[in-house]
Structure 1
């Protein structure tokens, strides 16, 4: 063949290739959602805490901290709302961890204890719209295969099915659930013995993201890092056991005051806020014996070490994203799933026999894989400063959580935003950024509209997304709240009884210490009507909620 013919052939092939349709890189942002388990409001360095969290603090420096982010009062309740953009009853989590076998609510909508058929999970819709979808860590939204992450739209997954587990093995932590269950990509698998949970879940997630980048470099991802830290049992790797030795010898009473003042200095609470009184059930620090103080301090040392370790592994993900050129186009959301946890399972009647049989809480053994430490209401109240109570309650201490968001195209950074918004608002935010219309192409007639509202305006510097007339509410196991503007109606303890409801103005009383129901009967009746309307819309079975 002559040179001129070869030249003509080469030019022809080049023209053909250049005219062929080329796959365009998807410019939509990646979404990294990181959820800490039972992290207190004031624990992070960027939220006034004295625990070392440099990686999360850096996210705050390049992003936004929010002071009025509201979740559910417990783990699964929040997760159902987070992945659905809906109320917990509509999403199927009217009661966490199932019903008694004789409960009249079995089979009733709202009490499935798994994601219901009335919602579309975020993962499913983002998968449908062209995202890789990954999750590792805690699921807590159903043990059946049909309720697994794989069936809810996750391409790759490795998850604990229950609400908690030993952090080094599959030994259970509850008398009725003696072995922890795990699924990988839908199949029941064993947990790798001896691997520390936070490190293992991080390794898995990085592997999944790397695998997707190799498979399709231009395809965006949604990654849900659902860590089980710092959820009890408070266990850490050996090199973290003594990192905070002596740091909490000041005690929980003094720590609460220091955290409270630090939050003021950080601009996260108003300068005129008042610290609510210590709960009557908590023994004052100065009344403890030296031995009791020693044990109490050790509990908080271990908790702080878990948070420190969590921050380190979050840093690993961030460094990976930067090394792979993915960081700048990734929205990163870091949040806690509820308020600080006030349980003390080693001493509680229902759990102590099982836990003491399988775990050893001698002082020298605390924090190791065969110990079971939980720090109790005394430290939880310090972690919940400046609010009233903690996880499980519908007071602010149970449902206001830290959240740090690093936008993929930041317009304002390092700021504090005091806008009120809820965990239901995150799903609509993800949909807007992904250019995805809810409920997608496969929705049935059962699917309910979103309750949440996008917070993209807040990320762009606006100061609010909800009006003063916006109503939110929640009920779980007889505890409830309904809120309109700054006014909030609360039932503190079950059973749910309208005569026990308390009225607070949370803008003026963060600690919910002044019941205004008698002084403001008209506002009380207004919110009571809002609550009744909320119950009707969400099909809550009020006469049976305490079953």
Structure 2
């Protein structure tokens, strides 16, 4: 019996040692943040904690999302193109479901905003809300109602609530209560800086008056700083302002001060996120698990152009630290936040889908302080985390055949190695705004063609000057839309007959 136990120990012990060495994984997603909104990517906003993670990790300059809240979250969680999950959620195996098969603990804080509920899809602990946007101080949804939950039980809102702080409180709580012999996956989905633009008064006032030079001056300052930081090539041009951008000089002093306040509130929200990431990093460090925790930070889409400030806020001059306020900024500020790119959230131009991404993992990143300029996509996270967890993708899950998962692992990037390129990347927003990337070529809305190697700001449409390439891209796009989206974006809807 003793000999049998000894043999059992010899063969089983290495598995547990290996399991202990697998990294914890922390995926941090912010909401509606522009490409140039971090200090380490060119911003004037104070983000010292993220800047430090970037200096000790890798800055990914060519990572892409799906340009919209729920579409990004769907691809992120499923490892599939979001169009594939329509009416097909039961065959989808989420990241926490897959990592759970490898013994990982799975927790989430923040905004869900996709199919089902977090604790139905692999998370053991959850604190946050299910819908697209809520008040930061009282949790009220943008359409009314209330959807905050703690482990899927209704949550009673305290008086001193601010969502960014609360999400971090729960993240730290979960780390405290973890089973230390097992690795964990933590998904932190902050709702900042999504509208309504709300932040504590002291944080807003820190930035008050800093934006009185206007949005064009801000774009130019960030653009210069991005070149100094080597985020963008030295010969890159700054995209022209969009046609809906107003001239700052033609605004009245009153309007300028209002616009300054709105941007100050937005900056404060990002600042507070950075403060809270500092709290989480300190907790990991205190627990002596920071070195073996992979931290990934990115945004779900580019900056938001929709000024949906509500009339009572304007009428009563409510400040962004008032829970009754509902303030948004206009497309002009979003254009500056997306420097140097064109367009915004929901669009498939780079301003909609490009995200500044940071990875930090002292024990696993062998090229700290570097850049990665390979094009990557949200679908890559599923593959990356499976590799790190040493777990295969299941053929079946909960009695259902598991749907095909996509993506290419980012793990080689952590060692400074080039990973395989995507054969293609498929982008879609409501079948109206689409993009298709194949090699250096990008097709937008089946009309515009760009060479991303020489023109990432998408200023020179090559659809007419390169007809053969244009036709090739259209053919491939239609093929992939049929495969991934049942042809919904490529099949023209029949026109209604006009009444005589």
TM-score, with length taken from structure 1: 0.84
Aligned length: 484
1:472 to 425, 444, 451: 425
Deviation sequence 1:111-151 (CA, Å, 0-9, x none) = xxxxx123210011111210000001000014xxxx11001
Matching residue of 1:186: 152
State yes or no: 1:206 paired with 2:159: no
Alignment RMSD, CA only? 2.4
Q: Aligned partners of 2:439, 2:493: CA distance in 1, in Å? A: 26
**Structure 1 residue 442, shift from structure 2 partner:** 2.4
1:153 aligns with 2:126: no
Q: Check the 8 A contact 1:249/1:293 in 2, yes or no.
A: yes
Residue number in structure 1 paired with 2:94: 121
Q: Deviations over 1:101-120 (max 9, x none)?
A: xxxxxxxx36xxxxx12321
Could you tell me the TM-score, scaled by structure 2's length?
0.92
State whether residues 93 and 397 of structure 2, in contact with CA within 8 Å, keep that contact through their aligned partners in structure 1: no
Match of 2:296 in 1: 333
Q: How far off its partner does 1:308 sit?
A: 0.6
1:265 and 2:234 matched: no
Alpha-carbon offset, residue 443 of structure 1: 6.0
Structure whose CA Rg is larger: 1
1:428-439 pair list within 5 angstroms: 428-439=383-394
Is residue 2:371 matched to residue 1:402?
A: no
2:110 and 2:188 in contact (8 A); partners too: yes
SS in structure 1 of the partner of residue 366 of structure 2: coil
Secondary structure of 1:365's match?
coil
| 1:216-255 alignment runs, 5 A limit | 216-255=179-218
Distance change (3 Å), C-alpha of 1:523 and 1:444 = farther
Are the counterparts in 1 of residues 113 and 130 from structure 2 also a CA contact under 8 Å?
A: yes
1:417 and 1:463 in contact (8 A); partners too: no
Q: Which moved more, 1:68-77 or 1:264-273?
A: 264-273
Deviations 1:397-456 (A, max 9, x none): 000001000124220111111111111111100110110101366265642222211011
Answer whether contact 1:72 1:338 (CA < 8 A) is retained. Answer: yes
Task: Measure the CA separation in 1 of the matches of 2:186 and 2:459.
Answer: 40
- Aligned partner of residue 171 in structure 1, secondary structure: coil
- C-alpha distance in 1 between matches for 2:395 and 2:48: 39
1:169–1:194: 8 Å Cα contact kept in structure 2? no
Q: 1:246 deviation in Å? A: 1.6
Indicate the residue corresponding to 2:409 in structure 1.
454
State the partner residue of 1:507.
Answer: 453
Change (3 A) 1:312 1:544: farther
Find the aligned partners of 1:475 and 1:394 in 2 and give their Cα distance. 7
Paired with 2:356 and 2:165, the residues of 1 have a C-alpha distance of 22
From 312, 337, 340, the counterpart of 1:383: 337
Secondary structure (helix, strand or coil) at the match of 2:224 reads helix
Q: Following the alignment from structure 1 to structure 2, what is the Cα–Cα distance between the partners of residues 380 and 241?
A: 18
Gaps of 5+ in 2: 496-500
Offset of residue 266 of structure 1: 1.4
Tell me the equivalent position of 1:80.
74
Distance 1:27 1:128, change over 3 A: same
| Residue aligning to 1:350 | none
Hey, what does 2:347 align to over in structure 1?
393
